[in-house]
Homo-oligomer: A and B are copies of this chain.
Amino acid sequence: MTLDVEQIRKDFPILERETRPGVRVTYLDSTATSQKPVQVIEAMNDYYRRSNANIHRGVHTLAEEATSMYEGAREKIAKFINAASSREVIYTRNTTESINLVAYAWARAKLKTGDLVILTEMEHHSNLVPWHMLQMERGIELDFIPVTEEGLLDLETYKSLLDRRPKLISFTHMSNVLGTVNPAAEIIRLGHDAGAVVLVDGAQSVPHLKVDVQALDADFYAFSAHKMCGPTGIGVLYGKSTLLESMPPFLGGGDMIKEVKLRSFRPNTLPHKFEAGTPAIAEAVGFGVAVDYLSAVGMERIAAHEHEIIEYALDRLEEIPGVKLFGPSADKKGGVAAFTLEGVHPHDVAQILDRDGIAVRAGHHCAQPLHEKFGIPATSRASFYLYNTMQEVDLLVNGIYKVKEMFG
């Protein structure tokens, strides 16, 4: 059964927004951040109106309610990605902090000068800069799985890089520019065979695909709520409990401790060991409801819907003279279409589309090295989610024709 998109759209109040009088928004920027269903918005609203309190150490009713809502959300998220236990789900601010947590608490404890970390050429800055920083500080080595012209990872080169016994492989499950869905299970298996720990940047995959961290056998898996119908301000680092237990804490403070003396402390057990200070409580509550929402719609159905749209979008965009698309064909990617239009800068494309309410992103999308690889400073990017329609693809295509006309 396919998605009832019209029904779903009713859950997203912002889709009725007019960005100028009479012009309703056509939101094609879900890869940057998704919109939120009213269920998620109302859950947080309700939390603040009925249950708000600080968690964990409170005995009173509100504190107990808040604690069980906060921890209940963690259980839901653990189930959503099929973690073995909710102890393996660490709340962070976003994917970026999740990756930095691994860079600070795992890598700084385990990696020495000369140790090799393998990344890919299609990484988001969030999976590059933490490793640049560690390279400067610690003298680790970095190498990269190349991206082919088609926009796929070159697995043959990966295999030869593995001969150098890397300590860590860190790669994105799905590219936020090319849309490429990488063969995560295979990359992880090969990495493990070579004795490496594997971190997956799941910022784009968890929102759009059914992800099973145990089936993938990922050691660490990072994602953000705001890209998957949840609020800003909260993300997750999933980690295998054996790994998380072997790590020193990251941030120090309230809640991450079992006991504090004037001159020493004992860290708390998982997952609290990595959550210092008052966490994003309302946001966790909203995140839990986002996961409920996505589960109720069904991740397979969402993926299938996006597949239909991207297939249509690539077909239609390809027809436009001067449009150049980046990334593989629809069968190998998620709902992301990055393109250039000959003679018009992506910023101008985006801004002119915006006059018709069409929201696409323009720039390097936090993947400058990938753009450099393709010899361009920027692209325009339209991205699709469960609430997008075929008609919105048509609006985009018409909009691009208008741009061409203006600059013609």
Chain A residues in contact with chain B, CB under 8 A? Answer: 13-14, 17, 19-20, 25, 27, 29, 32-33, 35-36, 40-41, 44-45, 48-54, 57-63, 93-97, 99-100, 103-104, 121, 124-133, 135, 142, 144, 224, 226, 231-234, 248-249, 251-257, 259-265, 276-283, 347, 350-351, 353-354, 357-363, 365-366, 368-369, 372
Residues of the B chain whose Cβ atoms lie less than 8 Å from the Cβ of A253: 96, 99-100, 124-127, 129-130, 366
CB proximity of A68 to chain B, nearest CB, Å: 14
- Nearest 7 pairs between A and B by C-beta? A96-B277, A129-B252, A233-B280, A126-B253, A96-B253, A233-B233, A32-B54
Evaluate contact between B277 and A363: CB separation under 8 angstroms: no
Residues of the B chain whose Cβ atoms lie less than 8 Å from the Cβ of A61: 19-20, 25, 354, 357, 359
Residues of the B chain whose Cβ atoms lie less than 8 Å from the Cβ of A132: 252, 260, 263-265
Chain B residue at minimum C-beta to C-beta distance from A28: B60
Instruction: Please judge, given known A-B contacts A58-B32, A251-B100, A361-B58, whether A232 and B280 are in contact too, CB under 8 Å.
Output: yes
Interface SS of A by simple majority: mixed
Number of chain copies forming the complex: 2
A59 to B355, CA, bound (A): 11
Residues of the B chain whose Cβ atoms lie less than 8 Å from the Cβ of A142: 263
CB proximity of A311 to chain B, nearest CB, Å: 24
Evaluate contact between B62 and A19: CB separation under 8 angstroms: yes
Evaluate contact between A233 and B283: CB separation under 8 angstroms: yes
CB proximity of A266 to chain B, nearest CB, Å: 10
Evaluate contact between A41 and B48: CB separation under 8 angstroms: yes
Chain B residue at minimum C-beta to C-beta distance from A26: B60
Evaluate contact between B359 and A53: CB separation under 8 angstroms: yes
Evaluate contact between B129 and A360: CB separation under 8 angstroms: no
Chain B residue at minimum C-beta to C-beta distance from A36: B48
A231 to B142, CA, bound (A): 39
Name the contact of A282 in the complex, choosing from B97, B232, B279, B360 (C-beta under 8 A).
B232
Residues of the B chain whose Cβ atoms lie less than 8 Å from the Cβ of A94: 277-279
Evaluate contact between B252 and A130: CB separation under 8 angstroms: yes
A265 to B127, CA, bound (A): 12
Chain B residue at minimum C-beta to C-beta distance from A360: B60
Evaluate contact between B125 and A257: CB separation under 8 angstroms: yes
Residues of the B chain whose Cβ atoms lie less than 8 Å from the Cβ of A62: 14, 17, 19, 25, 27, 29, 359
Evaluate contact between B14 and A48: CB separation under 8 angstroms: yes
Chain B residue at minimum C-beta to C-beta distance from A137: B248
With A135-B263, A232-B279 given, name 15 new contacts (CB 8 A). Answer: A32-B54, A32-B63, A41-B49, A57-B365, A60-B351, A63-B359, A93-B93, A96-B253, A99-B253, A129-B252, A129-B265, A132-B260, A132-B264, A255-B366, A260-B368
